[in-house]
Amino acid sequence: MCGRFALTATPDQTTAFLGLAELEEFPARYNIAPTQPVLMALAGPPREPGSNLPGRQAMLVRWGLIPAWVEDTKAFPLLINARSESVLQKASFKAAMRHRRALVPASGFYEWQQSGSAKGQPYWIRPRRGGVLAFAGLIETYAEPGGSEMDTGAIITTEANAGIAHIHDRMPVVIEERDFARWLDCRTQEPRDVLDLLKPAAPDFFEAIPVSDLVNKVANTGPEIQERGIVSPQAEKLRRQKPGTDETQMSLF
């Protein structure tokens, strides 16, 4: 799965990479977690002939997709990921796959190598070449009972490649820059036409760096969470004995 990621690129770098109009200033985000707002890009409305306006538009959405047909959001699970293998069959994602495919800009993501029942060793997983990448995303606009609307989204995952599988068996789908237009084109590209894009990245695309357990807490949002570190088994054992709430979890809203 993909439960935490980061976007540390500047607005100008992100704009150029995604082919967007100018973005408002935003800070580097080192620990993006479910239910928080995330930046996504999707195809814009049809352009007039000769128009030089960008063909894509940016949206801020809540990370955790809610299908339009949900009646009770409190009883509905938080859909932060959509499995590529079943994304066409799942009722929760069918409409978004047909009408609202998106790109999620990121600098990398975090994953935990499990160790028994413990949270395990966290890794910061980033492109070897550096820079920005784009995860495959889905957007759904949910109309609340009171009449207000909320844009929500999910990240599509696939089986881990050989470079990541020793850490976790899933990873986010990376859409290559040459495939941006095809992935976002919901007018002429049916969902079945873009399924070939929902594949693992090449085995040498990412590098995985062990980091400390600072990333476990969503309150930790500085660059220090990406510094190399090892979580000792003894520290994990002591931490599990401490009373209190689990700060790694967030509410649905």
Catalytic residues: 2, 111
The residue count for the chain:
253
Q: In 160-187, which positions are buried (b, 16+ CB within 10 angstroms) versus exposed (e)?
A: bbebbeebbebbbbbbeeebbeebbebe
Alpha helices in the chain (DSSP H): 11-18, 91-99, 180-184, 233-241
Strand boundaries in the chain, DSSP class E = 4-7, 29-32, 37-43, 56-63, 81-83, 101-106, 108-115, 118-127, 133-143, 149-159, 170-172, 206-210
Residue 116 sits at the vertex; the CA angle it makes with 161 and 127, to the nearest 5 degrees, is 30
Q: Please report, for residues 90, 145, 152, the alpha-carbon distance to residue 60 in angstroms, rounded to integers and kept in the order given.
A: 24, 21, 9
Cα gap 81→217, rounded to integer Å? 20
Q: Using alpha carbons, select from 171, 228, 224, 223 the residue that is nearest to residue 198.
A: 171
**Amino acid identity of 191?**
P
Alpha helices in 100-187 (DSSP H): 180-184
Written as six digits, the tokens of 226 are 């990406």
**Within the chain, how many helices (H) and strands (E) appear?**
4, 12
